[in-house]
Structure 1
Amino acid sequence: MVEMSVASTAGIAERKRQLVRNELAEAAVALLADQGFEETTVDQIVAAVGMSRRTFSRYFESKEDVVVHLLAGAGAQMCAELRARPGDEPPALALRHAVSVFTSICRVDRERTLRVSRLILDTPALLARFLERQSQWQAEMAGILARRTGLVPDTDLRPALAAGVALTAFQTGLRHWVDNDGTTAIDELVDQAFVMITPALDLSTDQS
């Protein structure tokens, strides 16, 4: 009973922490989108939600971390989706389903996602953090693809290359979506990109 109570208390505490993180992230995105990245200070962000700078530092190290936080959950879901795809599904189709985690967010919450995506893609410091996070996703996805196909990622370039190409296809579609203010469906853009790259996603083990 004591162990269950401790676990329950820990779970509640973590949920509260997550709520605070989300509140800070939402406030930061609103300010950063309106004022610009360089013009917005941490003090302004915490003032918007009635918190102290000390509280902010318990959750995030910088303004960049606040925005990147919004990507973390979606990236984990993308890798989980790839891991859950049927083993006999072609890699190109499995990867397209995986990145649909992101395209679904764009479709369901269009205005907010446009704002966040434009902020990330047009701010060098945020784009650098996005690409850093994308590199982490690529490594995890490469491991998943290797296990699905029986390839050895330490000696075979194809799993990492396929993961990288798929992520680049998504990012290219996202860039066009943002540049056109979301007037073309994000799924349509990403589908077009995947049609072009499908040959590069062939991980058949009989290739020489």
Structure 2
Amino acid sequence: MPDGREPEAPGGGTGRTGRPRLTERRKAEIRLEIARAAVELFAAQGVTATTGEQIGRAVGVSSRTVWRYFPSKESCVTPLLTAGIDKIAACLRDWPPGTSLAEALSPALSPALSPALESDGRSDLPGIPESRELVRLTRTEPGLRAVWLQSHDQAEPAFATALATRAGLPPDDLRPAIQAAMLNAALRAAAERDAWQGDAGAGSGAGCGLSASLRSALAVVEEGLA
């Protein structure tokens, strides 16, 4: 049954049903709703037991809508993994000389850099998604692991271009590409360390948690950039 929220056919102001086409902003909102619902279901019952119909039902859309937005149920989590790529790239381009990497990225990473994050695990940057549960799942679910790594593949060229622009280097210069790979790996390592320490029952002591892991990882990257 049509749910009234599906994207209409391209090529005109309305689709074949006569409904107004969804705006790009609304499409992004629906994608994010689907992503959050998918994570909740994956955490509750596992990826294998979760169906597209269940994900759609949790959001109030049809399974057809889910498959229009995503090619597989595992890929439904992508919006949570790629939300902050453009923000971080913009911060890298505008990174002032004499400013630490953590300070430069603060506008994009401030939620994650705050110890207050430890209470709910929320963020919106690539590699450090809204819930630690998603990162935990990537450790045991191969399909989610592939999506997780793919999100970092998407981030790295954006970071490299931003660093090249900042340094006045050609976009294909090797140096910013290596620097971007370092930063990308640091973000992933910080998220995984935080989530997987929780799996082992750690992460509650001094110096543990996402904020501490991220600050430590950025400090290591900055040493390499220097």
Aligned mate of 1:103, from 100, 109, 112:
112
Cα distance, 1:110–1:93 mapped onto 2, change above 3 Å: closer
Who is 1:162 aligned against?
A: 179
Who is 1:36 aligned against?
A: 46
The answer on whether the counterparts of 2:87 and 2:108 sit within 8 Å (CA) in structure 1 is: no
TM-score (ref. length: structure 1): 0.76
The answer on whether the counterparts of 1:74 and 1:101 sit within 8 Å (CA) in structure 2 is: no
How many residue pairs get matched?
A: 192
Q: Does 1:124 align with 2:142?
A: yes
Who is 2:194 aligned against?
A: 177
Unaligned runs of 5+ in 2: 1-12, 14-19, 123-129
Aligned alpha-carbon RMSD (Å): 3.0
Who is 2:33 aligned against?
A: 23
The answer on whether the counterparts of 2:52 and 2:67 sit within 8 Å (CA) in structure 1 is: no
The answer on whether the counterparts of 2:102 and 2:215 sit within 8 Å (CA) in structure 1 is: no
Cα distance, 1:116–1:170 mapped onto 2, change above 3 Å: same
TM-score (ref. length: structure 2): 0.71
The answer on whether the counterparts of 1:21 and 1:59 sit within 8 Å (CA) in structure 2 is: yes
- What per-residue deviation string (whole Å, max 9, x for no partner) do you get for residues 52-86 of structure 1? 22122222221122101212222222222223332
- Per the alignment, in what secondary structure is the counterpart of residue 181 of structure 2? helix
Q: Specify which structure has the higher proportion of helix.
A: 1
Matches within 5 A, 1:23-172: 23-86=33-96, 88-89=97-98, 92-93=101-102, 97=106, 100=109, 103-104=112-113, 107=117, 109-110=120-121, 113-154=131-172, 156-172=173-189
Cα distance, 1:99–1:166 mapped onto 2, change above 3 Å: farther
